[in-house]
Amino acid sequence: MIRLETILTPGRSLVNVPGGSKKRVLEQIARLVAHDMPDLDSQVIFESLVAREKLGSTGFGNGIAIPHCRLAGCQTPLSAVLRLDAPVDFDAIDGMPVDLLFVLLVPQAATDEHLELLRQIASMLDRSEVRDRLRQAQTSESLYRVVVDVQNGQ
């Protein structure tokens, strides 16, 4: 079974990311991933994330969104986590603005693996103490550490 910590890196864990709007946040996610994975195109990532949002907001409630999409050219699932400097409106199901984003990009053909990763992210973020720890992380490294520690039951 694939685990979240194997597809997330400290370099794709960012704190105090300027928000602004949902569109700007998705653009920043696309740039971040493309910078880290040069064989992926930021415009393609952005368009894929926007297309997925049009099917229904990935705003999950409690200030969290899980933007995700299938991506042509993506060889293996990858994740990013961002904490915004100020919450943005994300059309979340509870109407709350979003300040924590977990991103999941999966290969075009991904199926069960994709769903398993989404399940792991959602069950982790369902716990208020985990959300608090993510919001209190002061550095990208400590944000990443929270995810790894939670995955390892700490």
* 59 vs 96: CA distance, rounded Å: 9
- Rounded to an integer, what distance in angstroms lies between the CA atom of residue 16 and that of residue 22? 15
Spatial neighbors of 41 by CB under 8 A, at least 6 apart, are 34, 73
The sign of the dihedral angle between the CA atoms of 124, 59, 56, 20 is negative
Residues in the chain: 154
Query: What are phi and psi for residue 136, nearest 5 degrees?
Result: -90, -10
- Residue 100 to residue 136: CA distance in whole angstroms: 11
35 is catalytic: no
Residue 148 and residue 154: Cα distance in Å, rounded? 9
Among 22, 68, 114, 131, the one annotated catalytic: 68
Residues labelled as active-site residues: 68
